[in-house]
Amino acid sequence: MRPASVNRRPPPKRPAAASPQGGRLQRPGGAGSAVALELAGAAINPGVELDLQFGVFAGAARHRALLPRAKVRRWVGMAAQRPAEIAVRIVGEAEGRALNAQYRRKDYATNVLTFDYAREPVVSADLVLCAPVVEREAREQGKPLVAHYAHLLVHGALHAQGYDHETGEREALEMEALEILLLGALGFPNPY
């Protein structure tokens, strides 16, 4: 199952200078190909500022222990192709469902929601991951929970930069190929 992207923005959590900017997520013009070619020497982007938050839900302590800030920053930083300010929030089923209903008009919790506010000069985005959904998917797919979190965080960070797997098959294949390369550089197997 591919993660979801969000085209509607939540109320800004950031200062007015980083307020949401309009526009549907689109793939940046060929940037994925250039990035893929440079992955042999891939490094974590030092220009990534991360705000990591955990909602209140059953099992939150276990997810918090699995996702230390340094690890999450490493995964998001690997996917970031330019300076970025990214907030990652791990939520329970109720909060995930409410956000998906409010911003996508879908009455269920999804694995990851990406709220992109700006792409230039600094990527500004919120990534919301629903812990129970992520855990259920990892179990169903027979993969370690930490690997599934890494995949969804890389996926969400790419959405925040304009990649979109829902605009066409070519774009989907390009995004998936980039995810596979980035996750490989992080030591994770092909998530697909």
From CA 35, how far away is CA 161, in angstroms rounded? 13
Determine what percent of the chain is predicted with pLDDT higher than 90. 72
Task: For 38-85, write each residue's pLDDT tens digit.
Answer: 544 567 888 999 999 999 999 999 999 999 999 999 999 999 999 999
Residue 165 confidence (pLDDT) = 87
Residue 37 confidence (pLDDT) = 40
Going 95 to 56 to 112 to 142, the CA torsion angle's sign is: negative
Residue 45 confidence (pLDDT) = 86
pTM of the model: 0.81
Domains along the chain with CATH numbers:
39-185 (3.40.390.30)
Q: Alpha helix locations (H) across the chain?
A: 31-37, 60-66, 69-79, 93-104, 131-141, 145-160, 169-185
